[in-house]
Structure formats: C-alpha cells, structure tokens
C-alpha cells in the first residue's frame, strides 16, 4: 500500500470515528431530555405552515422578468397585510424556502428554509430575495420535475406543521419530463397543497392548464397575473390567502 493510500485510509477512518462519536452524543443528549424539554424543543420547531416558492427560470423568462419575480416576492413580504396574516396563526410563524427551476434536471434551492415570525424576519427574508441571483441556466419548462423537487424539500423540512404548500409560478406549460398531474396526485396523497400563479404573457388561458394539470391538494387555488408587471400584486394576494388558510377569499 502506498503512503498516499495509507494517508487517505487514515483520514477516512478518522472522520468515520468522529461521525460515529458525534451521532452517539446526539442520541444520548436526546435520550436525556425531560418530557418538558422535549415538548419545548418540539414547540420551537412548530410552524403554522411550510411554504416553498418554486420560481420559473426557463427559456421564456428573461433577466428582467426574473428580477420582477424576485422583487415582487420581496415586496409582498414587506407588506403589513402579509405580516398580519402571519401573526394571525396559532404559532405566529411560518417557514419558507425558494427554489428555481427550468428543465428536467435543473432545480436548485435559492434561499433555504427561513422562519418568518414577524415584521423584522419578513424584511430580512425580503432583503435576501432582492439579492437573489439567477442560479441555473435556462432550459425547458419541466413543471412536474419542479413540483417533485419542491415536494421533496417540504417532506424533508425540519418543522412540525399540518399545512405544507407549494407555490409554483410559471408562464408556460410542461414540455419536459414527468407529467405534472402525476406528481400532483402523489403530493396531494401526502396532504401537500399545490397552488399556482399563472403568468399569461405567453399563454392567455394558462390558468385553465394549471387547474387541470398542476394545482391540487387541500384547498388548492390558482391566481392569474396578466403579465410580469402584474406579478407583484398577484403574489401578494396569493401569499395572504395561503397564510391565512382555508376559507379565505
């Protein structure tokens, strides 16, 4: 065995032992928590909803339109009505993340999970959105793959909640990969809601496609923006309705 191989083996064994010891410590610490401490820990991770914004960055979305989406979402989180909606829930906090998507194998988390528990946290999140760059190359419109990616992100989120929502915005129809209706049905079976924001600059009746192929799950809905200039108002209305919960018009 060469010196390099021996060194590499030593490094691997060292890191593996460190991993095992760390895991054992975490298990031991968890086991020693009192019932009150475990309840407090669970309470810290409880939110009124987990929400993933899946933002279309496919070929049909130029840089200006991408910035209108990010800035529009940032403005929504700075709006007092959104703050009031967040504070109206029993836990008075939600968890949000933002992904970008285009082709079948092109999805990435742009802004990882953040807890929004009031005006200051919402403004910090908004600040991240205004600085968020376009992270992946243009591609086709793989709506189904984007929904699958967002669903996996929701199911792996480290929060306790009864409401899991995907907020998917797009100006086009699925033209790559798995059919969105197949993913919709799978997610709905896991009690995940898929809501849509249909931007009509490419397809004048895109909301009909969203209603039949994309949205689903408990209390799902679609909102229309006639173009990217109208995105800001549409996403604000959509966000308030999502946070406030079922039965809010």
The CATH number assigned to the domain holding 116 equals 3.40.50.410
Q: Please check whether residues 7 and 113 belong to one and the same domain.
A: no
Q: Please check whether residues 8 and 96 belong to one and the same domain.
A: no
For CA atoms 69, 236, 108, 142, the dihedral sign is negative
CB 222 within 8 A of CB 195: yes
Could you tell me which residues come within 8 angstroms of residue 108 by beta carbon, excluding any fewer than 6 positions away? 99, 100, 101, 135, 136
Percent of the chain with pLDDT over 70: 81
Selection from 113, 1, 4, 101 nearest residue 52 by Cα:
113
Q: What is the pLDDT of residues 179-238, one digit of tens each?
A: 999 999 999 999 999 999 999 988 999 999 999 999 999 999 999 999 988 999 999 999
Q: Is residue 150 part of a domain?
A: yes
Q: pTM higher than 0.75 for the full model?
A: yes
Range of the domain at 28: 3-32
Q: Please check whether residues 19 and 71 belong to one and the same domain.
A: no
Average pLDDT rounded to a whole number, residues 49-63:
94
Number of domains in the chain: 2
Q: Please check whether residues 183 and 239 belong to one and the same domain.
A: yes
Number of H helices, E strands in the chain: 9, 6
Q: Is residue 249 part of a domain?
A: no
């Amino acid at each position: 065995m060469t010196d390099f191989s021996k060194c590499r083996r030593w490094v691997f064994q060292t890191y593996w032992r460190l991993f095992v010891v760390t895991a054992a410590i975490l298990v031991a610490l968890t086991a020693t928590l009192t019932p009150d401490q475990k309840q407090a820990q669970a309470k810290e991770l409880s939110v009124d909803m987990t929400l993933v914004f899946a933002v279309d960055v496919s070929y049909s979305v130029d840089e200006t339109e991408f910035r209108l989406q990010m800035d529009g979402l940032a403005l929504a989180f700075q709006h007092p009505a959104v703050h009031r909606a967040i504070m109206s829930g029993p836990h008075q906090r939600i968890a949000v993340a933002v992904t970008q998507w285009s082709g079948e194998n092109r999805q990435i988390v742009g802004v990882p999970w953040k807890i929004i528990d009031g005006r200051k946290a919402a403004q910090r999140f908004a600040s991240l959105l205004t600085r968020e760059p376009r992270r992946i190359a243009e591609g086709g419109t793989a709506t189904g793959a984007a929904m699958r990616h967002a669903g996996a992100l929701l199911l792996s989120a480290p929060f306790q909640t009864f409401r899991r929502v995907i907020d998917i915005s797009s100006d086009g129809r699925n033209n790559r990969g798995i059919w969105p209706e197949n993913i919709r049905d799978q997610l709905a079976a896991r009690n995940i809601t898929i809501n849509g924001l249909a931007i009509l600059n490419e397809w004048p009746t895109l909301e009909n496609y969203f209603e039949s192929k994309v949205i689903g799950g408990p209390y799902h809905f679609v909102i229309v923006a006639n173009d990217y200039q109208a995105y800001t108002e549409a996403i604000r209305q959509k966000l308030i309705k999502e946070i406030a919960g079922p039965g809010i018009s």
